């Protein structure tokens, strides 16, 4: 069994597609298929079910996945140790992030990482399923680092560092009955249509938790993955919503009014997290050190 076979196996397992795996690995698809077939012959078991609608892991493939990840992590750690003797930081770090995050200047941090360690490759992935999806990808080993939101204490299987705690403000269109009120109780929002993120996203989780605690029902009529676009729907009277100052500062807020909620804590807390089950690579540690320096300088 070769490390390359395990690398190809994980690429297919992560993407559930031979085509996408080949694109990620920058090789031809036939090479991926041949490598997986050779691995299956060596193991004496099929690892994937191939059907017209896609690819799925077999029970054998599901069992192999964490062992393959651990083996590649061990090989990476060995390379890091050798590189460290020469004072070099090499390798790749995969970072997951939410959309519309401005409370930390990630482009500047990545530029500084490249300046200090030009041989580190950064792969940046936007969340496809919000904070819940990013946490799952960290646990599965698909991400090395993620910026995500927790509504309570971070789970024990992740190492998390608070980046920012930002109050959420109710945003309504100018002329809305609530626009003239500086603050309102959450119960005043019962029956109103809302613009919000889909379930699993950080802001949605914070707001849903507050409404559940208050015993107030609400209806989300428009779901947007990028809350930076929510203002347009709110401005046009399609609903009200909760946004942070970090989002409001970066958009055209004309025609919008912010209102404070008087009786509930609606705070959006962004964390940077890694898996507690796997030690971060040298490349990941280099980026985490820059993030820590940035947070300490505030």
Whether residue 172 lies inside any domain: the answer is: yes
Q: pTM to 2 decimals?
A: 0.75
Whether residue 16 lies inside any domain: the answer is: yes
Task: Please report the DSSP string for 179-194 in residue order.
Answer: TT-SEE-GGGGTT-EE
- Residue 99's nearest CA partner among 129, 135, 122 is 129
User: Phi and psi (nearest 5°) for 220?
Assistant: -95, 115
Query: Which of 48, 63, 78 delimits the end of a domain?
Result: 63
Query: Which of 41, 63, 85 delimits the end of a domain?
Result: 63
Between 298 and 258, the higher pLDDT residue: 258
Whether residue 257 lies inside any domain: the answer is: yes
Whether residue 45 lies inside any domain: the answer is: yes
Whether residue 148 lies inside any domain: the answer is: no
List pLDDT tens digits, range 26-72: 899 999 999 999 999 999 999 999 888 789 999 999 999 989 988 98
Q: Residue 220 is part of a domain; what is its CATH number?
A: 3.40.190.10
Provide the pairing of β-strand 145-149 with 267-275: antiparallel
Query: Which of 35, 63, 91 delimits the end of a domain?
Result: 63
Quote the pLDDT of residue 86.
Answer: 67
Q: Residue 56 is part of a domain; what is its CATH number?
A: 1.10.10.10
List pLDDT tens digits, range 222-266: 999 888 899 999 999 999 999 988 888 877 788 999 999 998 889
Q: How many domains does the chain have?
A: 2
Whether residue 253 lies inside any domain: the answer is: yes
| Residue-range definition of the domain harbouring residue 180 | 165-269
**Which residues partner with 147 through β-bridges?**
272
Task: Say how many Å lie between the first and final Cα of the chain, rounded.
Answer: 49
List pLDDT tens digits, range 207-225: 999 999 999 999 999 999 8
- CA 183, CA 185: separation in Å to the nearest integer? 7
CB distance 161 to 271 below 8 Å = yes
DSSP code for 56: E
Whether residue 217 lies inside any domain: the answer is: yes
Whether residue 292 lies inside any domain: the answer is: no
DSSP code for 235: H
Query: Two tokens at 128?
Result: 């496809």
């Amino acid at each position: 069994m070769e490390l390359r076979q395990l690398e190809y196996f994980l690429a297919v397992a992560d993407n559930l597609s031979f085509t996408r795996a080949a694109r990620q690995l920058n090789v031809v698809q036939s090479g991926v298929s041949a490598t997986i077939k050779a691995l299956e012959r060596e193991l004496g078991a099929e690892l994937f079910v191939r059907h017209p609608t896609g690819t799925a892991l077999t029970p054998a493939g599901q069992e192999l996945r964490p062992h393959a990840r651990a083996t590649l992590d061990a090989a990476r750690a060995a390379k890091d140790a050798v590189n460290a003797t020469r004072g070099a930081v090499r390798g790749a770090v995969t970072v997951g992030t939410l959309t519309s995050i401005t409370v930390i200047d990630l482009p500047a941090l990545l530029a500084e990482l490249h300046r200090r360690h030009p041989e580190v490759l950064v792969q940046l992935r936007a969340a496809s399923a919000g904070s819940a999806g990013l946490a799952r990808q960290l646990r599965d080993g698909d991400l090395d680092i993620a910026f995500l939101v927790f509504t309570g204490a971070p789970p024990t299987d992740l190492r998390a560092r608070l980046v920012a705690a930002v109050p959420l403000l109710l945003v309504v269109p100018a002329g809305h009955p609530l626009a003239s009120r500086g603050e309102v109780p959450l119960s005043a929002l019962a029956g109103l249509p809302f613009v919000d993120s889909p379930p699993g996203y950080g802001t949605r989780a914070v707001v849903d938790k507050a409404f559940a605690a208050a015993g107030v029902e609400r209806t989300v009529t428009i779901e947007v993955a990028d809350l930076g676009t929510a203002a347009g729907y709110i401005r046009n009277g399609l609903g009200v919503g909760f946004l942070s100052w970090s989002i409001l500062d970066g958009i055209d807020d004309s025609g919008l009014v912010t209102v404070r909620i008087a009786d509930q804590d609606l705070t959006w807390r962004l964390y940077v997290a890694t898996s507690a089950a796997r030690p971060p690579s040298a490349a990941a540690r280099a980026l985490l050190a820059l993030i820590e320096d940035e947070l300490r300088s505030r």
